Amino acid sequence: MNANWLFLIALSCIWIMLLYHMFLMLGGYLYAEQMEKRRRNQPLTRLHREDWPKVSVLIPAHNEELVIDLTLKAMCRLDYPMDKLEIIVINDNSSDRTGHIIEQFAQKDPRIKPLHLKPPHAAKGKPNALNQGLKLATGEYIAVYDADNIPHANALKHLVTAILEDPKAGAVIGKFRIINAKKNLLTRFIHIETISFQWLTQAGRWYWFGISTIPGTNFLIRKSLIDKLGGWDESALTEDTEISIRIYDEGYRIRFYPLAVTWEQEPEKWKVWIKQRTRWAIGNQYVIYKNIGRLFRRNPSKVVFDLIYFLFTYFIFLGAVILSHLLMLLNVFGWIHITLPGPFLLIWLLAYILFVVEIMVTLAIEKTELTIENFLIVLLMYVTYSQMWLYLIVRSIGLQIRSAIYKEEIKWDKTERFRSVSGNDFY
């Protein structure tokens, strides 16, 4: 196989991914338009107070003293019938004041039910905490929020509305925004990334294929379904992606419903970000290994879309980009000769423009985000933040190889929190 073939293969792999994203962006835009209309007309279902189903909110918390009070305040303000809501806060063997704060809130609000986990059932990661909380849950639906989340008061009602009107939806996911978006350049990058991810990947996939991936917070799932699935996979580092696959397998859809909004924190330091994203990468790679066999089934389900997408994101696209970079260098130094005809410089330029334009569309969907400042950050993002993904994926593969050689267990790393907002600022 000569350099021309390798170059063409690399380019094809890269552009399959980019074209797929382009297609998703179109779907994302159209879905945003649909949701606009929906929001104007009748966003919430009209139910009598007693007709709303009972919901159990699960909030796993491990050393969350910096943020848990804000989260619980927000939970107490949720616009949902009092007797139809229970908030199970799982204190996962915290060594700080988390347990104490939870108890304080529980004394004031009977809906809050503390669950203090101790070894050997504690500190095994978020999936374990959720499974423990699930045992206590009595609601017809289970909502999950991270301990740093501040949902809008009507977020839960939106999630319930969405699942009630769609019997095929096994779960409904809402939208999340960033509390500390303007803290520094990193949080600005993440802020733009999350908006793009939700309007492009989540909304696009939902619009075209009726699928989306549970993001780990601000989602609602049928209790009957999660019971049937046997709870969350405790081996998974990204239990949200893993359970999404199993939900599809049961024949359900996962509905993206952006009217249900929550706010959450994102890492403010590169070190924390790398740790968190490496965990995501390892977790998603675990999902690929676990489900790769489904690709070769005779009657593949919708899940194949996601599996191929993950396969491209974490292996094929990455490999193609590295190969492309390598070929470019070898060509520059004259060690190989790529003689294929075509407007390849123009194609590279178009890839950059497409990246920028796609993100600008997603930012424009949010009323306040289409700004010159964000535009400049997006320009910078392509050559900085986006390229960091290469490092992250290589790192995650390296860690897995290492853990396989030395038989080490890759542990669930808790993301470091920051106190970036006071309760009064928000309410």
Partner 1 sequence: MRPDNFNRYQALSVILGRIAFKSAAAFLFACLLATTANAQSADRNVSVDRMNILVIHAGQAGNDRTVNIVLDMLRHFPVHTEALQIEEVDKTKLSRIDRAILIEEGGTSTAGASISDHLRKTGIPHMWIACGQINDHIRPVQLHYRGKTFPVGHMKAYRLNENVKFGADNVLAYASDGANSTPLIVRDKEVWYITAGIENMRMTAIVADLLHDFLEHPHRDARQGLMIIENVYPLVPPEQLTAIADLLSDHHIPFAIAVNPVYHDKVNGIVYSASDHPGWVEAILYMASRGGTVIVGGNDLPLHVETFSDRLEQNLAVLSHLSLYPIAIALTEETLAAIHAESNAVHFSTVYGSGALKSQIPYVTFLETGIRVFPHTASAGTVMKPHDLGLYISEWDRLDTVRDAWFGFTYDAESPVELLEEWIFYTEDKPVRWIDIRHEPHKVESEWIRIVAPGDGTLEVSVIDKERLFALSQVEGNKARLEGFAFYSSWLLVGIVFSFIVLFVLFTLILHLRRRNRLFTEKELP
Under the rule (CB under 8 A), what is the footprint of partner 1? 4-5, 8, 11, 15, 18-19, 22, 25-26, 29, 32, 36, 39-40, 150, 152, 177, 179-181, 258, 261, 263, 339-344, 346-347, 350-351, 353-354, 357-358, 360-361, 364-368, 370, 421, 425-426
Contact partners, residue 381, CB within 8 Å, separation at least 6:
189, 192, 193, 359
3-state secondary structure at position 171: strand
Q: At closest approach, how far in Å is the CB of 358 from partner 1?
A: 6
Q: Measured from the CB atom, is 54 or 177 closer to partner 1?
A: 177
Q: Are 214 and 176 in contact (CB under 8 A)?
A: no
Q: At closest approach, how far in Å is the CB of 134 from partner 1?
A: 29
Q: At closest approach, how far in Å is the CB of 344 from partner 1?
A: 7
Structure tokens at 73: 């305040």
Q: Measured from the CB atom, is 29 or 309 closer to partner 1?
A: 29
Contact partners, residue 266, CB within 8 Å, separation at least 6:
178, 179, 180, 181, 187, 190, 191, 194, 273
Torsion, CA 417, CA 420, CA 424, CA 425, rounded to 10: -140
Q: Measured from the CB atom, is 308 or 351 closer to partner 1?
A: 351
Q: Measured from the CB atom, is 7 or 314 closer to partner 1?
A: 7
Q: At closest approach, how far in Å is the CB of 150 from partner 1?
A: 8
Q: Measured from the CB atom, is 24 or 281 closer to partner 1?
A: 24
385-392 CB contacts, 8 Å cutoff, 24+ apart: 385/189, 385/193, 386/355, 389/277, 389/318, 390/318, 390/321, 390/322, 392/274, 392/277, 392/278, 392/281
112-117 and 85-92 strand pairing: parallel
Contact partners, residue 6, CB within 8 Å, separation at least 6:
323, 327
* In the block, residue with structure tokens 């509305």: 161
Q: Measured from the CB atom, is 106 or 421 closer to partner 1?
A: 421
CA pair distance 337, 316, nearest whole angstrom: 24
3-state secondary structure at position 193: helix
Q: At closest approach, how far in Å is the CB of 181 from partner 1?
A: 8
Q: At closest approach, how far in Å is the CB of 364 from partner 1?
A: 4
Q: Measured from the CB atom, is 223 or 417 closer to partner 1?
A: 417
Element (H, E) at 205: helix 203-209
Q: At closest approach, how far in Å is the CB of 401 from partner 1?
A: 34
Q: Measured from the CB atom, is 32 or 85 closer to partner 1?
A: 32
Q: At closest approach, how far in Å is the CB of 145 from partner 1?
A: 16
Q: Are 111 and 87 in contact (CB under 8 A)?
A: yes
Residue 108 corresponds to which amino acid? Answer: K
Q: Measured from the CB atom, is 48 or 367 closer to partner 1?
A: 367
Q: At closest approach, how far in Å is the CB of 56 from partner 1?
A: 25
Q: Are 131 and 90 in contact (CB under 8 A)?
A: no
Q: Are 132 and 117 in contact (CB under 8 A)?
A: yes
Determine phi and psi for 177, rounding to 5 degrees.
-120, 170
